[in-house]
Structure 1
Amino acid sequence: MEALANPDCGWFYRCSGRMYDSIPGTPIVYWVSKAITCAFKRGLPVSSVGQPRVGLQTGENARFVRLWWEVSLDREWFDCPSIEESAKSGLKWFPYNKGGEYRKWYGNNDCVVNWENDGKDVRDFKGSVIRNPQCFFKPCITWSKISSGSIAFRYKPAGHVFDVAGTSIFAEHGRLAYLHGACNSSVILKIASMLSPTLNFEVGQIAAYPIIIDEDKEEIIENLVDENRLLSKADWDSFESSWDYVRNPLI
């Protein structure tokens, strides 16, 4: 009643239903700014700039997945360049991207998956679902499908298999860095809260995020992203839980 009597109270909103037409799924987000609705009209969806993909479902992680320090280093390869090389290597355990806690830029490299002989044991298991194996071992940016807070995107260099909770985006090197910077920006975080209010970040929602390509700023953005990745990696590697740990930085 107060808002009807005083539309200038500060919390009374009036907008046309046509405003939602440019936003995927037409969510009722009456508080969204004109700049964000304009971004959906001007920008390209993530799916036009990169390839968001859902990955492997082993069917039984207890059978096929380990923490990297639980198995022999002699049977692990952390930076395998391709799925063909993994098959030829005769090795068994490879990094497995399965989401994890909130962390930006780099990290959450804890698990390995049995992908010996091109994943024969997993492929033969009746409960497994193999999705997008052509993307395995390629560099990507990834996010945790389910979060207790905001979404965060991390870089995974070549060598990883990814699963349904560590859904990922693939693109060529420079464009992947640009996407990484855009997806970790405050603008995309705002858009994520609109499209994923339940904090369940599905690949289809991320595929619809608008990306505005500014060619004049691409090099600057790529350099800033590389710097943030290096800082985050240095932080991750300062703990013994990292396979690239050398020594405590305080020593």
Structure 2
Amino acid sequence: MQTELEPLSRRYDVVVANPPYMGSKNMNKWLGDWVKKHYKDVKGDLFSCFMTRNVGMGTEHAQLGFMTPYVWMFIGTYEKLRKFVIQQNTITSLIQLEYSGFSGATVPICTFTLQKGYCPGYRGGYVRLSDFAGADQQAPRALEALADADCGWFYRADAEGFGAIPGSPIAYWATDHFIDNCREGSSVSSYACFTGSQNITADNAKYVRFSWEVSLGDCSEQGTWVPYAKGGDFRRWFGNIDSVVNWSTPARSFYAANKTSNLLDNSLWYSEGITYTDITSGKSHFRYLPSGCVFDKAGPSIVCFNLPLWGVLGLFNSSTAQYYFDIFNPTLHLQTRDVKAMPIKAAVNEDERIQKLVVENVRLSQLDWDSFECSKGFKRHPLF
């Protein structure tokens, strides 16, 4: 490498480094404390610390190139890093590789170049290879994009638009219409109360059962056991509530007092609303949460609507919402902040036709759910 860089060093200051990737959870105490002290805004991983350090080492208009995990582009942990990149510097180019972009490894990688300093209106070049599986696809598709800007996976974007999107993700493929909606629309959190916390028993083996393991008469707001939304497999509109949680006074006292537990705020007990699964297989799925239930962190829920519940449920299960969620956070974890950020228009969700369709979808999904023994509402199989 020294041989290749020596000619450049006659005219430029050249630095090449191979910084480690290490999340904060894997740092020892000394390193963790040092990073928190000196790089508190980017302390999530050593690679993010090195990014800011390298920019600081550069002179005015310095050109910097990186290969890092692409988690910094989307997840909440790195929001301050994204703002530093797009507000104080300029992304000149970026290639986002597919998960299996390297032979023998499955890692979320991107490679990109920055210019130190902010250049207003600069439209960087972006190549999205995430739709092309396999290491053998990456280099040919990247070269094809560089040769043909109309290939469909090459994009030009002004990073200023990223700042208009909640969380400032590096969503270079977002349309101008999408960005305008984020600038002008009201978020769904303006109309609905999102739960700030979920119930955590800290001992599910003791406090959580399947609904068929307890007496049906003891499973209600007045009984020991209460239906418990815990996320579950892909399913829309209704279902996946096949667990119950011990809601007796001693159990709730344990949740409130134990350091690793959490007791759901009593204003949210038994509330009607919408629940969903926070870990997805790629597509989000929202379901009606009947009154009389509580929920845990794997099944976060939304209650207290100032809009028709059915309209909001219809929006969340639409292809439009999926497009927004894919931009807010294109990972397998659908965070509450991503759901809260959805721009919404009240008029759309007051449409009676939409509400009737959603109600019918919920009814049919409930019939299907109640056709099997895992449902508390099961009476007999529909074939009998």
* Residues 44 and 76 (structure 1), Cα distance of their counterparts in 2 relative to 1, 3 Å cut: same
SS of structure 2 residue aligned to 1:14: strand
Q: Please, what TM-score do these two structures have when normalized by structure 2?
A: 0.59
Identical-residue share of aligned pairs (%): 40
Opposite residue 239 of structure 2, the aligned amino acid is: G
* Residues 99 and 9 (structure 1), Cα distance of their counterparts in 2 relative to 1, 3 Å cut: closer
Between structure 1 and structure 2, the one with the greater Rg is 2
CA distance in 2, matches of 1:31, 1:45: 21
Give the conservation status (yes or no) of the 8 Å contact 1:137–1:159.
yes
Q: 1:3: how far off?
A: 4.3
* Residues 150 and 4 (structure 1), Cα distance of their counterparts in 2 relative to 1, 3 Å cut: closer
Q: Please, what TM-score do these two structures have when normalized by structure 1?
A: 0.88
Q: 1:68: how far off?
A: 0.8
CA distance in 2, matches of 1:17, 1:94: 48
CA distance in 2, matches of 1:216, 1:202: 22
Report Cα offsets for 1:172-193 as digits up to 9, x if no partner.
Answer: 4852211111111101111111
Opposite residue 18 of structure 1, the aligned amino acid is: E
Q: Residue 245 of structure 2 is aligned with which of 104, 113, 116? A: 113
Of 197-206 and 211-220, deviating more is 211-220
Unaligned runs of 5+ in 2: 1-142
Report Cα offsets for 1:45-68 as digits up to 9, x if no partner.
Answer: 121111121311111111110001
**Higher share of residues assigned strand:** 2
2:76 matched residue in structure 1: none
Greater RCO structure (CA 8 Å; 6+ sep) = 1
Give the conservation status (yes or no) of the 8 Å contact 1:64–1:122.
no
Report Cα offsets for 1:202-251 as digits up to 9, x if no partner.
Answer: 11221111112225852222111111100100110111211111222122
Is residue 130 of structure 1 aligned with residue 272 of structure 2?
A: no
Q: What's the C-alpha RMSD, in Å, of the aligned pairs?
A: 2.0
Is residue 141 of structure 1 aligned with residue 284 of structure 2?
A: no
Q: 1:100: how far off?
A: 0.7
1:97 matched residue in structure 2: 229
2:288 matched residue in structure 1: 155
SS of structure 2 residue aligned to 1:169: strand
Moved >6 Å (runs of 4+)? none
Q: 1:126: how far off?
A: 4.6
Q: 1:195: how far off?
A: 1.6
Is residue 191 of structure 1 aligned with residue 324 of structure 2?
A: yes
CA distance in 1, matches of 2:303, 2:268: 8
Aligned residues between the structures: 240
* Residues 125 and 63 (structure 1), Cα distance of their counterparts in 2 relative to 1, 3 Å cut: farther
* Residues 192 and 161 (structure 1), Cα distance of their counterparts in 2 relative to 1, 3 Å cut: same
CA distance in 1, matches of 2:189, 2:305: 13
Report Cα offsets for 1:120-159 as digits up to 9, x if no partner.
Answer: 3433545321233311100010111112221100001101
2:301 matched residue in structure 1: 168
Q: 1:42: how far off?
A: 3.0
* Residues 67 and 3 (structure 1), Cα distance of their counterparts in 2 relative to 1, 3 Å cut: closer
* Residues 34 and 64 (structure 1), Cα distance of their counterparts in 2 relative to 1, 3 Å cut: same
Unaligned runs of 5+ in 1: 78-85
